[in-house]
Amino acid sequence: MLSEQQERYVFMQVQSNIERSKELLKKAYAYFNARNIDAILALMKLDVVWANGMDGGYVYGHDGVREYWTRQWKMIDPHVEPIDFETNENRNVVVNVHQVVHDLNGNLLIDQMVKHIYTLEDGLIMRMEIEKV
């Protein structure tokens, strides 16, 4: 059983980890919207597993993510804005995201809310999954 002081310390550590995770993910969204692939990849593990929202399934590693986004951005113009952050029972970070996608001529294709679920490891993104809201 933990003392009150130990419980307070554990709580503060968890809160600190949550804040660091939020800041990391806010940067990732900003870099994505700016099309700065190298900056985003620096926030990911080398063997990252990333949801392929266009075709289904996943892409793997930095090369897979780079190829996926490069192909995606040649076809559509997506913008993702994190609205809020929470953690789930598995200690993953769940981000409620406003997703707006235009075609390359500026026509609106999608305007919706989605959930992005992140697994972080060693302060980096290890996995990202997508759920419909």
Q: Which of 127, 129, 95 is nearest to 113 (CA)?
A: 95
Q: CA torsion angle for 1, 87, 126, 25 (degrees, to 10)?
A: -130
The model's pTM: 0.88
Q: For residue 48, count other CB atoms closer than 10 A to its CB.
A: 22
> Considering the domain 4-132, what is its CATH architecture?
Roll (3.10)
Tokens of 118: 């992140």
Cα–Cα dist 111/100, whole Å: 4
Q: What three-state secondary structure class fits 88?
A: coil
Which pLDDT value is given to residue 17? 77
pLDDT tens string 59-97: 999 999 999 999 999 999 999 999 999 999 998 999 999
